[in-house]
A and B are shown apart, each in its own frame.
Chain A
Amino acid sequence: MKTVIPVENGDTLVAVRGFLKRLLEAGVVDAVLVPMETPAGAVTPALVSDSRLLDAANPLAPVMGLNAARVVGPVSIREPRGKIAAVLRPCELRALVELVKLKQASLDDMVTIGVDCLGTYDVPVYEVMRADDGVDVAAYLASAQSGELAPQDGYAFRDACQMCEKPHVSALSSGERLGGVEAVVTLELFGADLSAGIPVTLPDELAEKLGLTDPSPGPSPARRREIIEKVIAARTQVRDARFAEMDRRLEQEGIEGVFAACVRCHNCMTVCPICYCKTCLFKSPTFDHEPLQYMNWAHRKGAYRLPADTMLFHLTRLNHIVLSCVGCGMCTSACPAELPVGRVFRTIGQQVQAVFDYVPGGNVEEPLPLITFREDEWMEVGEE
């Protein structure tokens, strides 16, 4: 059912908090996983069971320090645990879908609440903004209605957000898909005047439990579609320009050129929602070579790059996860050398995903390309 969460006194955030509180108070779920604001104003996800504490919830804060799918995994993977609602951005929902397929997260007894994303800042940028100019929340939320998604003057959205062409959500229960990322409950910000109400789509039964029985279409679906298409067009243009640029770099400099300054700190892997292995080969003693081995390599090649095995690390990570890369760009955000890790993964990912006709984060039922196969495909391979 489509309805609108009423907003009083133009305070959208209070209305969202009220909605989340009702989920707990009506016993729909036992806890809500949602970005929370600390008293000092920093934002971090938390699993909240006490509805009063949801006064600190802020899923509309334009900051992303973590792809929350990373924390939904451990919280959801095993029963018993009770019911959870998780408030997630589109790139977090997509990562969650991949983690479910990788058997690292579970959607059982889980109410996913997807929220259209208007763009996010890196934590350090957000902190400077808070300290210096303050965050203009009203302008940020107003951008949903116009689709003119722009960062605050003097600041930039995260690199991945600038090229994100999947910033919107689609309700699992609704017919009209718009190609958005699916969630059980969707807060549909695009095209809406959020100072008046928040359009939401949710299952009828849930709406009844929450007392949201006023069917209201909100802004017309055509309006929403128009705004989303506008955002997608603008973002796709940026994306394609960056793909072309990265393709050129990879061709000219090779991956060793792009990652030349990598210190192999593994931050990109640590924050990646898809890289879930507990004991990564690259953190194992496998790559602690004997001193003589380094000398042999130095003699063989004339010189040997250190830290060793850096390109091997990136190429292996590409092989292991690029088909599931959702382009959240947390890797870029986390890189101390400010390398365009996410751009590399998205550029190459797009090409490899095309080979398998696979869209990461799409359908939970669709198997991962590397665990499935058909006997009668690529029959010529191996036969020459």
Chain B
Amino acid sequence: MNNNAFEPKIVAFLCNWCAYTGADLAGTSRIQYPPNVRIIRVMCSGSVDPTYVLKPLLDGVDGVLIGGCHPGDCHYQSGNYKARRRIIALKQILKSAGFDDDRVWLRWISASEGGRFAETVTKMTEFLKEKGPNPMRREWAV
């Protein structure tokens, strides 16, 4: 497949208080970022069950981004610390089970970091273009 023509799809779970507000700021500040990301707002990165990440991946989405507040800034005190462990476990399980774990990104983005959000989506899109489409997109047995 010609990777230049390939436009990866990213599903992003962004916490209401930081990462989502950051994404919003990127929009209102008219900071350019690739249109490859579909954003789902969640209350906290700690509320992202691994199933939410797994379902799109198995259906063939190219990348999943989980965005939360920087350590110490979680609106619910410790949601992001727990998310950190949960995503580390998830990535290890993906690796152990024979999947790529680098399609899952966890990033801390504050409400004022519109630029960081745009940059993260740009980097992730470029990384996934380079990496190529998720084989699960064609894998019927999954």
Contact = CB atoms under 8 A, between A and B. Distances in A.
Query: Do A and B belong to a common assembly?
Result: yes
Q: How large is the interface on B (under 10, 10 to 19, 20 to 34, 35 or more residues)?
A: 35 or more
Contact of A301 (B89, B90, B107, B139): B139
Interface centre among B81, B87, B140, B142 (most CB of A within 10 A): B142
B31 interface: no
Nearest to B137: A301
Interface string A287-325: 000000000010011111100010110011011101100
Nearest to B108: A382
B93 A315 contact: yes
Contacts of A319: 50-51, 54, 86, 89-90, 93
Interface residues of A, number: 47
B39 interface: no
Interface in B70-102: 70-72, 78, 80-82, 84-90, 92-99
Contacts of A304: 140
A277 interface: no
B97 A348 contact: yes
Contacts of A250: 96-98
B88 A316 contact: no
A373 B81 contact: yes
A355 B142 contact: no
Given A301-B137, A373-B85, A347 B96 contact: yes
Nearest to A352: B92
B93 A312 contact: no
A251 B59 CA distance: 20
A165 to B, nearest CB: 19
Given A281-B51, A311-B58, A305 B140 contact: yes
Given A319-B86, A323-B89, A381-B87, 18 more contacts: A257-B141, A281-B51, A297-B59, A301-B137, A301-B139, A309-B55, A311-B58, A311-B142, A312-B55, A315-B94, A319-B89, A348-B93, A373-B81, A375-B72, A377-B84, A382-B80, A382-B84, A382-B107
Interface of A: 247, 250-257, 260, 281, 297, 300-305, 309, 311-312, 315-316, 318-320, 322-323, 347-348, 351-352, 355-356, 369-371, 373-375, 377-379, 381-384
